[in-house]
A and B are shown apart, each in its own frame.
Chain A
Amino acid sequence: MSIQQLYMEAQQLSSAKLRDDIVQQLYEKSHRLCSEGIKYTKSKRDTRTEKLDAIFTSPIFGFPIMLTMLGVLFYLTIAGANIPSSMLAEFFGSLEKYLTAFFSFLNTPEWVHGVLVLGLYRGTTWVISVMLPPMAIFFPTFALLENYGYLPRVAFNMDRLFKRVGAHGKQSLTMAMGFGCNAAAVISTRIIESPRERMLAILTNNFVPCNGRWGTLIVLASLFMAANFTGGLKSLVTTGVIVGIVMFGIIVTFFVSWVLSKTALKGIPTHYTLELPPYRKPKIFDTVVRSSLTRSWSVLMRAVKVAAPAAILTWVFANIFIGDTSILMYAVEFLDPFGKLLGLDGYIMMAFILGLPANEIVLPILLMGYLSTGSLTEVDSLVDLKQIFLDHGWTWLTALNMMLFSLLHYPCGTTLINIYKETKSKKWTFLAFLIPTVIAILVPLIITQTVRFFGWM
């Protein structure tokens, strides 16, 4: 007898209320065990958690507190990362001089120095100095909030909004995960039981900027959006812009979820129980060490692994000439008209295309592209960096468009692979690529054309 036949037989024996009976039996036994084996001496309930929940999940204060937390988290990351970032950049910059001297001492051919130092070394150290400090602050702080028990409250607050657009409240948890890494967040959507709502969470996760895009967003925001401010105020304005960008991403998430749940993924949201665990004081030291060591380090290693080959490739493309134009320039010129339409340029489009394997490398590739044609050859500080952009005709509009494109564009290669593995469907994976791409093209297009139409630029 095969298992199928047995299953049929079992189904004939079974009745509709069997599952209820089983579950009830489990609960009754749990109850019996507890009344036999457990004594409650003091009737002291956990009133602290209740009091805190009244504040954190209050209909009035819930959202303002959430926004403030988000703002503080970003402010700490941005303000705290500034100095270590520039110190790292300076350190790597001075090291580069020695490397260059060493290579000329060895009399190596020019292209070896080009590939290894100007390509590989510069690309990867750029990634490290831009990415490491913000990650070393963001991850531990986020982990502290997580361990304290705040994240389930966020899910609780967001639940109503998600319900309204036809999605699952737990999607806010997978979104929170997306701040770290979209690829990981796609896997974390497994906590959502219904396949329909899970698909919504997968398709929209990309609208939360992952740490690979933090670097781009933070650098551009502080260079162009907060240019007229100094000191603490500058970080504050940068934070404001970043929070705005994140909020915009969340609005797009809601909008896309809503459209999808009315069209391709019709259905009503399922009910679920969300446990609000008691607030627990996190082991601060352990949490900080563990999250900086494991999370930051592994994300960084991934970034460097992808950045290294991409950096070499970019250098090679920029230095192989057909006629008197490099391969890179052919591509840039080809993409330029389209880029200009979106208020971007050919270099930026090129950087996003080459940056498909990992968002971390978009900015380094862009810089290498600019540098391969420009006169400046060394980036020691953020001031030089801004000059490079300005030399290539950047304005605040270019920066804003690039930030929006970065926020909205297609997921990175790793995320796409994970989406395919999770959905086992080429169609949905393609949609996960297509939907963000279309939005990423439309939004800057509309903004640019509006700004130009009204002559604000």
Chain B
Amino acid sequence: MGSSYRIALAGNPNTGKSTLFNALTGLRQHTGNWAGKTVSLAQGNVQYKGKTFHLIDLPGTYSLFSNSSDEEVARNYIVFEKPDVTVVVLDATSLERNFNLALQVLEMTKNVIICINLIDVAEKQGITINERILTNRLGVPVIKISARNKKGFPMLLDTIDRIVTGAIECQPVPMAYPDEIEEKIKKIEPKVFELVGNQLSARWVSLRLLDGDEKLLNEINQRFGQKEVVE
């Protein structure tokens, strides 16, 4: 009893992320401020099997390349605040575009659930989704739900529960880049690892550095200071 886990909800705008959040938390929610910033994120609790899942509703974004402050907030929460599980909510009717964000999240953190919402609408439009194949290709659980009709919630909560208890281990299949990029990543990844240790995914940080993500650089500087080795 009493163990509490932080579950972050990420997703594109208009995927029903907030509907899911509201349906799960009911009226037991509040907004909180994060890490000195004036960002307020809606938060709420769900009780499940004697555990408390503390849900955090991240801003809806199309990518996590920190183009806008919303994207930065969502990215920083996933990477630095390290929620126990990150649930990425996708719109079943436009998965091709939505997977983009999911793939980016999978590069940043391990414990991810892909939650395909609006499955009722998709079925009406004749879209059949084989979640087993997707689970297999992505290496993390893929679940179909309909937040509006509160369908698929037991499965979602149970999967969250099994991830936090360690019954399922997520093994995200790494994104493979063209050889040219992979070589560059290999060159700096060990050095990044020396610096950030296991705190962050060294592969992901390397990729961001290659991409010239100065905002991330500043964020790492602020949070890790000038320490030679962390941990």
Residues of A within 8 A of B (CB): 1-4, 6-7, 9-11, 13-14, 18-19, 21-22, 25-27, 29-34, 36-46, 149, 152, 187, 190-193, 275, 277-278, 280, 283, 286, 290, 293-294, 418, 421-422
Contact = CB atoms under 8 A, between A and B. Distances in A.
A419 B133 CA distance: 48
A303 to B, nearest CB: 18
7 contacts: A4-B217, A11-B209, A36-B137, A40-B128, A46-B93, A190-B68, A193-B67
A281 to B, nearest CB: 9
Given A1-B195, A6-B188, A187-B40, A30 B211 contact: no
A42 B126 contact: yes
B148 A421 contact: no
Given A33-B134, A190-B70, A18 B181 contact: yes
Contact of A3 (B125, B195, B207): B195
B47 interface: no
Interface stretch (B2-10, B79-87, B97-105): B97-105
B191 interface: yes
Interface in B62-88: 62, 67-70, 73
A174 to B, nearest CB: 12
Contact of B175 (A26, A38, A44, A294): A26
Given A9-B188, A41-B126, A187-B40, A34 B96 contact: yes
A37 B211 contact: no
Given A14-B184, A14-B210, A40-B127, A3 B99 contact: no
A34 B99 contact: yes
A37 B134 contact: yes
A251 B29 CA distance: 38
Interface stretch (B50-58, B154-162, B219-227): B219-227
B212 interface: yes
A40 B129 CA distance: 9
A38 B67 contact: no
Contacts of A25: 175-178
B62 to A, nearest CB: 8
Given A10-B188, A33-B137, 20 more contacts: A1-B194, A3-B220, A10-B209, A13-B184, A13-B188, A14-B211, A14-B212, A21-B178, A25-B175, A25-B178, A30-B100, A44-B125, A46-B93, A190-B59, A190-B70, A191-B68, A275-B62, A277-B14, A418-B38, A421-B38
A22 B69 contact: no
Interface string B167-207: 00000000111101100100110011011000000000011
B108 interface: no
Interface residues of B, number: 60
Nearest to B93: A278
Given A10-B188, A14-B210, A39 B130 contact: yes
B125 to A, nearest CB: 6
B35 interface: no
Contacts of A43: 126
Nearest to A424: B38
Interface string B18-43: 00001000010000000000101000
A33 B99 contact: yes
A290 B188 contact: no
Contact of A18 (B125, B211, B217): B211
Most buried by A among B103, B121, B187: B103
Contact of A10 (B67, B177, B206): B206
Nearest to B209: A10
A258 to B, nearest CB: 24
Contact of B70 (A26, A191, A286, A418): A191
A7 B27 CA distance: 45
Contacts of B14: 149, 152, 275, 277
The 10 closest A-B pairs by CB, nearest first: A42-B126, A30-B99, A10-B209, A277-B14, A193-B68, A37-B133, A37-B134, A39-B128, A421-B38, A41-B126
Given A7-B217, A13-B188, A278-B93, A36 B133 contact: yes
Given A14-B210, A40-B126, A190 B69 contact: yes
A43 B126 CA distance: 7
Nearest to A294: B27
A33 to B, nearest CB: 6
